[in-house]
Amino acid sequence: MSEFEFDLFVIGAGSGGVRAARMAAAAGMRVAVAEDRYMGGTCVNVGCVPKKLFVYASGYSEAFEDAVAYGWQNRGAEFHWQTLRENNASEVARLNGIYRNLLANAGVTVIDGRASVEDPHCVAIGGQKYSTARILVATGSWPRVPEIPGREHVVTSNEVFSMEEFPRRILVVGGGYIAVEFAGIFAGLGAETHLSYRRDLFLRGFDRDIRTFVRDEMGKKGVQLHFNHRVAAIEKQIDGSLLVRAEDGATLVVDTVLYATGRVANIEGLGLERLGVVLHRDGTVSVDDNFRTNVHSIYALGDVTGEPQLTPVALAEAMALVKHLQTGQLTEIDYNNIPTAVFCQPNIGTVGLSEEEARDSGIPVVIYKSEFRPMRHTVSGRDERTLMKLVVDSRNDKVVGVHMVGADAGEIIQGMAVALKAGATKKTFDQTIGIHPTAAEEFVTMRTPVA
């Protein structure tokens, strides 16, 4: 009989925590999961899933307009925020139930409540203590709002999906993919939308051509972009509106201010620092290649350990960890060429190196690029364009980066990611027969380098 109640105690029922718990239980381990908010974590509840549903909703305004050119009579469709909000909540609740059932059916003990680590083999929840051989911290990340006057008046991605009223005017603050996505969502839903970013161009880390192209396309869709703009204070007015003051003295009046200025590791109150668990300077948990912290019975994975903060990465890490716990062997994860999508409008899909990253790495690159109006808009007349780009290593003809802005970019880039993992060369792309007429075929018909 083991001296511990559990072989593995997972703190956090997000994507990584649930996958690790299920796989460990299937391997015969006695597993518990503690969760104090909702099943499925950020992705299911206030991240990927609701965000994508809201992106779908925001696209209908243009679809209704474009339909007229295809013979459909526009009879004045109206948007109702409450309907979207409630249907989204119902879907999230359904998924919460699925996650809870997955854990129960796997034989995992689910404990509702905020957990803290008392010692390397003890977890406490609501006054009850549980002994465990190993502890896995999978608590994800949390929105960060800077300390500015009036911060109590802002919302984050945690609250935005459940706001009581739809804002007629909204300011989104931030320059990452979350900020860019929400700016597109609210513009598409009909709000006067402003995006504030403290630097000269958003989406830092993405290919420069992608960044400038998205900037131009968002401008066409009515998003008012404020670059080199720093919010200094937010003041609530008598009528309930918010007066936003910038550091340069400029002011803006809106109904809602949404902050999307980054996320921090969700470890407050866990007790990790008390136990001497090493953290990085940004507050994320430091782990080795086996996801083990410096306290050998405590592991961590997913967003709480830092970049890349992506659901599929957390799932892969969970499976690698369980395999390691079973076999004692290192199960390496290849973090290179992880595909990424940004669900702005139009979408971004990217995998591999940007042109700038490749050049900075000393790779002699050849660049192929194509920009065009999508076929559907040759009839609708909408001024929206698509951009596709290949970054090729001239030494061996390998494609080291694939980038796209356009409809369904994420769907298309997933296939490109397989090609890069397989080591595809530009010749491989050239020898591949395209599907006509599609946008995706452009990736296999680009023949003339632009740089």
Residues 257 and 153: beta-carbon distance below 8 Å: yes
Q: Look at residue 249 and give its three-state secondary structure.
A: coil
Q: Other CB atoms closer than 10 Å to residue 39's CB: what's the count?
A: 25
Of 201, 220, 198, the residue nearest 210 (C-alpha): 201
Task: Give CA torsion, residues 131, 137, 140, 145, to 10 deg.
Answer: 90
E strand map for 304-421? 340-342, 348-352, 365-372, 386-393, 399-405
Q: How many residues does the chain have?
A: 451
Determine which one of 80, 153, 229, 436 is catalytic.
Answer: 436
Cβ within 8 Å of residue 143, ≥6 positions away: 156, 157, 158, 259, 260, 262, 263
| Residue 104: φ, ψ to 5° | -60, -45
121 is catalytic: no
Task: Give CA torsion, residues 36, 39, 44, 50, to 10 deg.
Answer: -70
Q: What is the largest CA-CA distance in the chain?
A: 73
Q: Give how far the C-alpha of residue 39 lies from the chain's centroid of Cα atoms, to the nearest Å.
A: 18
E strand map for 373-440? 386-393, 399-405
CA–CA gap between residue 430 and residue 423 (Å, rounded): 14
What are 77-82's contacts with CB under 8 Å, separation 24+? 79/166, 79/189, 79/190, 81/163, 81/165, 81/166, 81/189
Of 340, 311, 318, 317, the residue nearest 40 (C-alpha): 311
Report the catalytic residues.
Answer: 436
